[in-house]
Amino acid sequence: MATTKQWLALGVLMLPTLLVSIDNTVLSFALPSIARDLRPSAVVQLWIVDVYPLVLAALLVGMGNLGDRFGRRRLLLVGASGFGIVSVLAAFAPDATSLVLARILLGVFGAMLMPSTLSLLRSLFVDRRQRRLAIAIWAAGFSAGSAIGPLVGGVLLENFWWGSVFLVAVPFLLPLLIFAPVLIPESKDPTPGPFDLGSILLSILTLGPAVYAIKELATEGVGVLPIALLAIAALSGVLFVRRLLGQANPMLDMQLFRVPSFSGAVLVNLVSVFSLLGLLFFLTQHLQLVEGLSPFDAALALTPGILVIIVAGLVVVPLVRFVRPGYLMAGGLTLSLLAYGSIALTGSDATVQSYIVAFCVLGAGIGSAETLSNDLIISSVTPDKAGAASGVSETAYELGAVLGTAVLGSILTASYRSTIDIPQGLSAVDATAARETLGGAVEVASTLPGGLGEELLESARHAFDSGVVATSWVAVGLMAVAITITLVTLRSVRS
């Protein structure tokens, strides 16, 4: 039986989990304010959001291995200290470039936090049933943190400047630094694989160019640069896999991906977060810039979905004793498909209430799928290898976050730019700003005479909602493919 100290330790481990997942989405909610103050281009705006989860995804497996080698609690405390310091720097970034650089550093220290939390949880709870409940709480916090981000952002942006969303890290990290040494025992792998710098560099060369190429293809079209980047990513990915397969004790055991419960669960992790972050990317902008809600009111509109995520993650724990995990996870992805489908079908006629319902439906699917996928991933390895397995789990999560905003965000941006009709009478500078992003159009419209400003706003909002419809149909197709793969790979996996 788990002791009170173990459950308190779980509470402490929830702090960085909530923080990193909040940080994934809180900035999306602050984008309209950042767009008005720093005036980034569409590509830079996407990089402000994406560079943080991209760096996380590239470093998580390596950091998980580092924690296995030198101590998971030690790495957790180092990451917490660095994350807090850089968060303060990000809050006072004077321009878009400085904010991107700060987000890169946040990704580095965030990568130290996440594998440590899940691998320490694996060593804290030995009993499978108790561990599944602990992972359900952990996963609910992770998913809820992604959704709470907009709520936190709404409260802060209602009263303070956009930089305040970064300062939220301080109250999360101080209790962690105080109580973690007392409640959480140190753990490490007695025979860890090598800290393989070459493999880490190859993973970065795989993920970075691939995501950048997706952005370029969506915003600039087919060209030499995105094709070259995709070639670099493909070559690096092949070399990465071959390097690990050729090692006796690799940083990451690639043979794990031949285990259906592991590979299928990793896919579910990625797709679940893809759908959540992709929806939040345009939902937060729609509520504020199209519907005209204040940041706080827009955040309140997301609250029911947040609660559904938490409840679904806990409810699925007893259900898995009666229904196979693969079916439950496929059901969760089906709910995501239905959520995107409802948005695509309603189009520009969608109301705030219909968006709230769609977010709740998606939340039910995300909450259940994330709990089961993380449990399968962490249970597929021995406790000694929990750090590397946790790194894979978190990599899938962060890669899903990157792709959710990169793929769906880029499709939305491309559709917006091709659809918006710039009215006559705007200067070249204003026309360019309005065509870049919806936030730019709203800012330009506020400086124009009444009739001209209203005409620009109407065109921009119509273009944005048309992009949302196109993006949602793409998401529906991707969800259908993911559901099929999940049913195939996990059909024989039992609880």
DSSP sequence for 424-437 = TT--HHHHHHHHH-
Asked whether the beta carbons of 205 and 232 are under 8 A apart, the reply is yes
Residue 364, CB-side half-sphere exposure with 13 Å CA sphere: 12
Residue 218, CB-side half-sphere exposure with 13 Å CA sphere: 26
Tokens of residue 38, six digits = 């720093």
* pLDDT the model gives residue 357: 92
Element holding 71 (H helix, E strand): none
The residues near 80 (Cβ < 8 Å, ≥ 6 apart) are 16, 109, 113, 173, 176, 177, 180
Asked whether the beta carbons of 164 and 156 are under 8 A apart, the reply is yes
- Burial class of residue 413, CB neighbours in 10 A (0-12, 13-18, 19+): buried
Structure letter (DSSP) for residue 422: P
Question: Alpha-carbon distance 132 to 372, whole Å?
Answer: 8
* pLDDT the model gives residue 2: 61
Residues 156/160/161/164 CA torsion (nearest 10 deg): -50
* 41 closest CA partner among 436, 460, 438: 436
Question: Alpha-carbon distance 468 to 354, whole Å?
Answer: 14
Task: Tell me the chain's radius of gyration from C-alpha atoms.
Answer: 22
The Cα-based distances of 37 to 194, 226, 433, 435 in angstroms read 45, 30, 13, 17
* pLDDT the model gives residue 192: 66
- Is the entire prediction scored with pTM above 0.75? no
* 120 closest CA partner among 16, 19, 35, 246: 16
* pLDDT the model gives residue 235: 96
Residue 206 in 3-state DSSP?
Answer: helix
Question: Alpha-carbon distance 303 to 311, whole Å?
Answer: 13
* 405 closest CA partner among 49, 96, 149: 49
Strand locations in 260-334 (E): none
* 203 closest CA partner among 60, 414, 1: 60
Asked whether the beta carbons of 278 and 471 are under 8 A apart, the reply is yes
Tokens of residue 194, six digits = 């090598």
Amino acid identity of 192? P
Question: Alpha-carbon distance 83 to 93, whole Å?
Answer: 15
* pLDDT the model gives residue 488: 84
* pLDDT the model gives residue 361: 92
Walk along the chain (495 residues) in steps of 10 and give the mean pLDDT of each run. Answer: 77 81 70 77 74 74 76 87 89 86 89 77 74 74 67 75 83 86 79 73 81 69 87 93 83 76 81 80 81 79 83 80 83 89 85 90 84 75 62 70 74 84 83 81 81 85 86 86 84 68
* 170 closest CA partner among 90, 237, 285, 265: 90
Amino acid identity of 190? P
